[in-house]
Every structure is written in C-alpha cells, then in structure tokens.
Structure 1
Amino acid sequence: MHSDHFSVHAEQFSDVDEQASTLAGWEQEYQQLGSGRFVGALAIVETDEFCFIRESTNTALHERIVPPPEQMVIGICNTQAQGHLLNGRPLTQDQLIVLDGSRPHHIRTTGPIELLGISVPRELFLSQLHEQDEASVRKWLDLSVLQLDAATAGMLRHYFSVAFDLLNTPAGAAARPISPRALASTAISNVALALSLNQGSHELESTLPSRQRRERIVQNAIDYMRAHAGEEIGILDVCRATHVSRRTLQYCFEERLDISPLQYLKALRLNAAHREIKRRGSEDRAHDRHDTIGNLAALCGFNHPSRFASEYKKMFGVLPSETALKTAAQS
C-alpha cells in the first residue's frame, strides 16, 4: 500500500551550479553560454514513487543531465521561444520529452525556458501503456522527443500546470481535493492518451546510428576539453583527440549544441573559472584573493588576465573579484 506523504521544495537561484545540484539522485552539470546574470527557479513535489518537476532558467545554457537509474522523465516545454535543442533535436512546445536514466542527455537552451514534467519508475510507466504505445516509446527513447499535435501538447501543458497549482495549495484535505499519487497516476494516463492520439512522424531507424555517432563525437570532444581546459589547446588538438576533421567537429557541435567548438571551449573555461573562484572564496582565502584572481586566468587557459576579466564579466555580469568577494561574504 502506498502512502500519500509528499514533500514540496521551491527555490529561486542566482547560481547555475546550485540549481543543477538540487535534484537528488540526478547527475547534472550546467554550462552557462549566454551573457548576463543567471536567474533560475526549481519546484519539486516528491512522493515515494513520483517526482513532479518545474524548472525555469533565463539564459542560454548547455545542460548535461542523467536522471536516476531505472527512472523515466516525461515532460513538456512551456515556452514559445524557438531554437532550443534536446539531444540535437529541436525542442518546441508541441513535443513530448521522453528521457531515461540509462545515458546522458543534452539540453541546449537559447534563452528563457520553462520545463514541466514528472519522473516515474520506468517499468511502472511502460506497464500503463498499450502494447503498441509501449513499442513506440521504447523506440523513441533513442530520439528523446515525440511530436504531438498542438491541441494534445496544450492539454499536457495545462495538466502539468494545474497539477503544480493543486500541489502547492495549503496543506489539509479540504484545501487539496486530490492526492499527489492520484495526480501522478492521472499524468501517466494523460501521457498514454497523448501517445494513442499522436504517433508522431516516425524517423527512419537507419538514421539512429549516424545520430548516435555524432553524439559520441561531441561528448568525446567535451570530455577532452574539460580534461585539458587549463592547457594551451586549440580546435586542432580536439580534432586529433576525437579522430575527426575540423569540418566534422564543427558540424557535430552546431547540430547537437548550436554552437561552434571554439565558442564552447571558451564557455567551458569561463564556467570552470567561475566554479574555481567560488570554491576558493568559500575556503576563507581572503588573504591571497588578489593572487587567486591573478593566477586563475592562466590556470583556465587564458593568456591575458585583462581579457579574461572582460570575457568573465560579459558572461556572468560581474567581475571575477566581485564573485570572490560575494562568495567569501556568504561563507
């Protein structure tokens, strides 16, 4: 017998790393790609089996996410803006997001976005579907998105919004007319209905190997960049490490993340510097803060400290020294 006990957590964020680390059991890393100060919000309603999630961010990001093992995440985008990507595929309001915890997923946002969804045990979700729909979902897990018609997508967005509103009402049976478990079960039923009404445009399975190869190229390149971000590496070094031509690397990054490899390397270094400044600032190292900022540019692959400071402020809206002072004041 299942309990209707649940917890609610809602928080506003000004730090992208804090937001990325909030979901328990998830492996997430967010790289800020857009300019300006980060503003985000995350609301979580969690029961024994289900987790409703509502997340918003205000700037361009690359999000690498791995849901908990044996879980599926079913969701939808609640933002009209175009240009967002999920695993290299366009992510719009009229697509159902279907992710599982067996592999990393990459979300590339181009600006403000709100995502609504629910995390459920994989086998529990699949057991609620008709045989034909289950086969469709298992296939589309490789692609991560299912095309819906506008009316069906609108129904799901409305349902998830209403579910959050009901769960955020004051505690008490009179105030909350439906239990969290019932809302979660209804969410699965609504998704199953959407799948029955919309089988989507079936992409040929023969395209999957090439898409998966391009995904591996990008992931291998990012792994190499991350491991050698503090060294004087260039794009040709990344090409040699991933055994592809410069043209292929450029195409794969632009298709999967809508950004060039060189731009991504610079953003990766700036985000690494941002995290290192916060780490050092939290260690009460006020006595050598000047030395910390002075050397950090070189440690993160920037040869000119003044250019580093300029690029850092353009990315995060503050100077490196301001981040250090703020972190030290909070520690």
Structure 2
Amino acid sequence: MTELHFSRHLNAEAQAQASSLDHWDQHYEQLSNGRFEGLSEDLHLGFVQVFHEHANQTLLQNGQGRPGTVSFAVTEVAGSGSWYCGHEIEGRRLIALSPQREFELLAGAGMDLMAVCIDTAPLAELAATLFGADFELRLPEPAPVRQPGFDESELSKLLGAALSLARGNLAQLEQPAARHMLSLSLADAVLHCIGCDAFETRLPPGTVARRHIVALAREYMRAHADEAISVPDLCAATGVSRRALQYAFEDVVHLSPVTYLRVMRLNQVRRELQTHRCDSIGDVAARWGFWHLSRFAADYSRLFGELPSATRARWLAESG
C-alpha cells in the first residue's frame, strides 16, 4: 500500500461516496428525500487506513471491508432509527467490520463515521511483540461493540486528530518517525478494541425473522436488478404475506415495501442517466417501470432534490 496518501471528496451522489473509499467493496442507496451532500476523507499511512464519512441523507449501506484487514469505526448520529447488522445504534457507538462477512448499515441523516483499518499481518506481529507469541489475534464479527469502561470518544479523538493533521499539515507525516508513531498509536487502539469481549452478535428472535424476510427480498432484487420488481414478486420470493412483508420492511428499513421499491428504482434511473446518455429520460424511466412521467419527475425531484433533466445536464457538463 502507498506509504502516505490523503484524499478529500465532496460528493453529490450516494454511490460516489461509496466508491471514494480505496479498496472497499461498498454499495450505497439514498433512502431519504433531498439533494445529496456527502463528505469522504481517506488517509493511508502504510499498513494503516483512516477514513471519515458524513452525509446529509439517510443511506442504506452494504458491502465488505478491505481484504486482509481488521477495521473498527465510531459512528455518531442524533436520534433513533439507525442500525448496524440488525442492532440499533444511537449516539456514539463503536462497531466492528469484517472483510470476511458483508455488513449492512442503515445510516440516519447526518451520521458521522470515522474508522481505522489495519492490515492483519503487521497487526499480528505487533500483538506478538506486545503480548507474547501465544497471543491470538481474534478477527471481529461485524457487530456493535460495548465494553464497560471503554470510551469511544478517545478513539474518536485519535482518528479526528489524524485526519485533522492530514488536512492541515500532511507534510508533517512525510517524516518517517511521525508517520510510524501515529501508525503505532492507531494499531494499539485497534488491539484495545479487539481485546474486549463484548461483540453484540446475537439478535432478538423477532428481529432475526424480520431481517431474514428483508434479506430474502433484497437478494431477489439483486438477482433481478435489471427488472422492474413489484410487491407480489417479493411476496412470492420470500414466501410471506403482503402484511408480513410490510411489517418487516417498516421495522428494518423504516419504509414500506412499495416506497422502498420506488426508491430503489429511482436510484437505478439516476445511475442510468449517467451511463446510458444516448437514451432519453423517458426511455430510462420507462425501463424501470415509471409510466407516468410527470409523477416520476416529481418523485425523482423529491428524493434527489433536482429534476432528472438537471441531473443529466450536470453530468454532461462535468464530463465535458
């Protein structure tokens, strides 16, 4: 990995925010209404990566971390409704990420996330040096972490200080000694996180059942991503009634199945307005099941804060 690199992006698209993080396989969908405004910062210090994300809209995020790494993040959000891998998260929370298993995060509007990602091999070597050759480096499950006496704010301050230094005086980190000491501090913080035995991996039975229904529905959506899917399609795919599907979606993603499907289709239209530039807006909309164009334009504008014609015009201008 590059010894020292820092990037900062202001993003106008949810998926652009997901793609701005190097070496992570992520997919973001915008769920709340309004123009998207996001910030992503990414700092690489050899075997350590520190990043920060903020968005003004509610996002459904899923994906996997960078292969061969251990990652922890501190999330902070006002209000309720956010969850990570099925567990509700409020205020400031520490969460673990795994490159072996996919994560899902429903990030409420305004959520701030700062994370540290460290290559496993040098972290295991450091652990053996600090704690002895018998120390077992446990790879965490993707779940929230709660440990009595553990102060998430201390990790948050450390990550914030590293990013602040990168923003204001990256040249200081060009000094090998400074870079090495910061990397060791971050690695030590991750070992502290791994050392706790408080990964909240067990979900309540009702939550498990509802998440399973939504997972089946979303798996069907991914398998039929190029089709306009209906609620009866999801009922058939999940084997549940319309009412059970409704309850599951409202509990897990805080949207009805009808609204969720419309939001997903609108996100697909937004992507195709960029990639299928020779097709008319009406053709793209129709391909995703929007037959009432004035209603489609109103729904699109409500979700993304601009008309589809404005989206296409802006992307054409940006591409030259």
Is the TM value for this pair above 0.5? Answer: yes
Q: 1:259 aligns with which of 255, 258, 262?
A: 255
Q: 1:274 aligns with which of 254, 270, 277?
A: 270
Q: Which of 304-313 and 239-248 deviates more?
A: 239-248
Aligned twin of 1:49 = 47
Aligned letter for 2:221? M
Q: 2:304 aligns with which of 296, 316, 322?
A: 316
Instruction: Work out whether 1:242 is the aligned partner of 2:230.
Output: no
Partners of 2:205 and 2:24 in 1: CA distance: 27
Partners of 1:242 and 1:98 in 2: CA distance: 29
Q: Secondary structure at the match of 1:101?
A: coil
| Cα offset, 1:320, TM superposition | 1.0
TM-aligned CA distance change 1:117 to 1:36, over 3 Å: same
Q: Secondary structure at the match of 2:73?
A: strand
TM-aligned CA distance change 1:166 to 1:204, over 3 Å: closer
Partners of 1:304 and 1:320 in 2: CA distance: 14
Q: How does 1:185-224 map to 2 (within 5 A)?
A: 185-193=184-192, 199-200=197-198, 207=203, 215-224=211-220
Aligned letter for 2:30? Q
TM-aligned CA distance change 1:73 to 1:175, over 3 Å: closer
**1:75-105 CA-partner distances (Å, limit 9, x unpaired):** 1014444322111212234421101111221
Aligned twin of 1:19 = 17
Aligned twin of 1:141 = 141
Partners of 1:174 and 1:25 in 2: CA distance: 22
| Cα offset, 1:295, TM superposition | 2.0
Q: 2:104 aligns with which of 58, 82, 106?
A: 106
**1:200-256 CA-partner distances (Å, limit 9, x unpaired):** 4x7585x58986665454233123234546656422221211233434433443343
Aligned letter for 1:294? G
Q: Secondary structure at the match of 2:168?
A: coil
TM-score, structure 1 as length reference: 0.82
Partners of 1:244 and 1:159 in 2: CA distance: 47
Partners of 1:194 and 1:102 in 2: CA distance: 18
Aligned twin of 2:56 = 58
TM-score, structure 2 as length reference: 0.84
Partners of 1:62 and 1:219 in 2: CA distance: 13
| Cα offset, 1:32, TM superposition | 0.8
Q: Which of 232-241 and 56-65 deviates more?
A: 232-241
Aligned twin of 1:297 = 285
Aligned twin of 2:168 = 169
Give RMSD over aligned pairs: 3.3
Instruction: Work out whether 1:36 is the aligned partner of 2:24.
Output: no
Q: Which runs of 5+ in 1 are unaligned?
A: none
TM-aligned CA distance change 1:238 to 1:4, over 3 Å: closer
Instruction: Answer whether contact 1:230 1:298 (CA < 8 A) is retained.
Output: no
TM-aligned CA distance change 1:171 to 1:99, over 3 Å: closer
TM-aligned CA distance change 1:315 to 1:101, over 3 Å: same
| Cα offset, 1:329, TM superposition | 1.8
Partners of 2:107 and 2:241 in 1: CA distance: 26
Aligned letter for 1:222? R
Aligned letter for 1:24? D
Partners of 1:241 and 1:59 in 2: CA distance: 29
Q: Which of 110-119 and 223-232 deviates more?
A: 223-232
| Cα offset, 1:43, TM superposition | 0.8
Q: Secondary structure at the match of 1:28?
A: strand
Instruction: Answer whether contact 1:4 1:181 (CA < 8 A) is retained.
Output: no
| Cα offset, 1:66, TM superposition | 1.3
Partners of 2:314 and 2:241 in 1: CA distance: 43
Partners of 1:330 and 1:74 in 2: CA distance: 35
Partners of 1:5 and 1:275 in 2: CA distance: 34
Q: Secondary structure at the match of 2:160?
A: helix
TM-aligned CA distance change 1:301 to 1:141, over 3 Å: same
Instruction: Answer whether contact 1:84 1:109 (CA < 8 A) is retained.
Output: yes
Q: Secondary structure at the match of 1:96?
A: strand
Instruction: Answer whether contact 1:45 1:52 (CA < 8 A) is retained.
Output: yes
Partners of 1:4 and 1:324 in 2: CA distance: 35
Partners of 1:188 and 1:320 in 2: CA distance: 45
Q: 1:86 aligns with which of 84, 87, 102?
A: 84
Identity of aligned residues (%): 28
